[in-house]
Chain A
Amino acid sequence: MKISYYPGCTLKTKAKNMDHPGIAALKALGVELVELPRWNCCGAVFSLADDDLLHLLAPVRDLIRVVEQGDNKLVVACSMCYNTLARANLLMQENSEKRHTINTFMEEERDYNGEVEVVHLLSFLRDEIGWEKIRESIKVPLKGLKIAPYYGCTLLRPQSVAIEPPEKRTLFKDLLETLGATVVDFPASNDCCSSYQILSNPDVGIEAVSKILESAESWGADAIVTSCPLCEYNLGKRQEDALKKHDTLKELPTFYFTQLLALALGLGAEVCKFELNYNGATRLMESKNFLTVV
C-alpha cells in the first residue's frame, strides 16, 4: 500500500529521529509513505483570527498537492502539522464563503473543496494497519518498559480535529500495549508543555515542563512518549533547565512513538536514532536490553 505523507519542516531537520523510524516501521508493515512533492511549511499553528485567510494558503496548498497526486488521504506524523492541516481542511469543507475567497485568490492552483482526509499517523496505525498486524510483526517486545503517553494539546484539541475523544482516549495506550510496554496513564498526559512559550517566555515554559515531568515520575514512568517535536524538545532537551530548577526531579528520557514502534519491529538503533534524543534515551534502551537483541 502507498500513501501520501507530509513530514513537515521539523521532521526533515531536527526530528529525523521521528521521521526515519516512522518511514522504516511503516515499510516493515507493508506501507510506503510517499513524501508529498513540493510540500511547504503548513505554518505550524492554525490561524485563529477570523479575518486572516492569508495564513490558510500554506496548508491548503499542501492539500492541493495531495489531490494532484491523485490521492485522497494524507498521513501526518507531527502533531502540530496534523492540527494545522486538519483544521484548514475542515474550514475548506465547512465554510463556503472563505473557501470561495481562497480558491479565487489562488488563481494558479486548482480549486480545493476539502476532498482530502487528513489523518494522524497514530490513527493510521490503528485504523489501516490494526493492532493485530502490528502485534504479529513484533520482534523485540518492549517488556518491562514503563511508558507515559503524552498527548499534549494538538492531538486532542479542539474536538473537531481530535484523533479520539479526549475523555476516552486509548490510542496511545493500545499502541504501547501492542508493543509489549507497560502503560503509565498519568494525569498530565494532555496538559500543555508551553509550546512556543519556551522561546517567548522560557521561565513560564520550564515551569510547565517541570509539572509534566513531575507527574510522569510520580506515577512511576521510565520514560515519556510523544508525537510532537516541540513537546519532545520542551520535555526532552529543555529538561536540563527543569532539573536545574527543581532538584526533586530526576532524568526522564523522552521518545517519539515512531521510535518505539521501529524498535519493537526489530529495526534497531541505527533506524531509531536514539542518539538524537536527549537525556539517557540510549542508556535506558540498553539497560532494558532492547538494543542488543537485534
Chain B
Amino acid sequence: MTIEISDKTYDEEFVKKVEDISGENFHKCMQCGTCSGGCPMIEHMDIPPRRIMILTHFGLKDEVICSKTAWICATCNACSVRCPRGIELTKVMEAIRQLTLRKNINYVEPSAISEETIADLPQIALVSCFRKHTS
C-alpha cells in the first residue's frame, strides 16, 4: 500500500490530540515491529500496531481513525511491556478510540445487546466493554 505523505496530508490537530490524550511520545517509535510481533490480535487487525504508530506520527488521521485496529486491541499490554522504546501503545490505542467515542459515537451499542447475552456475561465483561467501546 502506497501512502502519500506531504504537508497536505499531515493533520497537526490529530497528532496533538493523540499526544494529549495518550500522554505518550509515540514519535520515538523506531519501527522495530516488536509490538506487532507479540500482539495476540494481529491477524484480525487491518493495520498492525507498528504501522499505527508511524501513521499517527505522520498525522495521517483518516488511515488511523478508520482502521479497526484500535477496536480489535484487547488492551492486553503485551506490546507495551515489550516496546524497546518504552512506548505504552495501549495508551495510544485508547487515545485513538477516544477520538471517535468523544464524538458520541459508540463502537458497541448497549441497547443492541440481547437480554440473554447480558444475563450470560460476567459483570466485568460488560463494564470493561462499555468502558472501552462506548462513549
Contact = CB atoms under 8 A, between A and B. Distances in A.
A196 interface: yes
Given A48-B94, A158-B81, A230 B125 contact: yes
Interface string B31-62: 00000000011011000000000000000000
B71 interface: yes
Contacts of A230: 122, 124-125, 128
A43 B107 CA distance: 18
B120 A196 contact: no
A55 B98 CA distance: 14
Contacts of A158: 77, 80-81, 88
B23 interface: yes
Contacts of B124: 8-10, 44, 78, 80-81, 229-230
A13 interface: yes
A9 B123 contact: yes
Nearest to B39: A192
Contacts, number: 130
Interface string B82-118: 0000001011001100100000000110000100010
B20 interface: yes
A194 interface: yes
A194 B77 CA distance: 12
Interface stretch (A67-75, A101-109, A197-205): A197-205
Contacts of A196: 74, 125, 128-129, 132-133
A171 B90 CA distance: 26
Given A196-B133, A197-B41, A233 B121 contact: yes
Given A9-B127, A200-B108, A192 B80 contact: no
Interface residues of B, number: 40
Chain A interface helix/strand/loop/mixed? loop
B128 A201 contact: no
Interchain residue pairs A-B with the least CB separation, the first 3: A50-B23, A192-B76, A157-B77
26 contacts: A14-B122, A41-B127, A43-B127, A44-B123, A48-B88, A51-B20, A55-B131, A153-B77, A153-B78, A157-B81, A158-B77, A159-B81, A191-B40, A192-B40, A192-B76, A194-B74, A195-B128, A196-B74, A196-B132, A198-B121, A199-B108, A199-B117, A200-B108, A208-B40, A229-B122, A229-B124
Given A157-B77, A199-B113, 10 more contacts: A10-B123, A158-B80, A158-B88, A194-B74, A196-B125, A197-B72, A207-B44, A230-B122, A230-B125, A233-B122
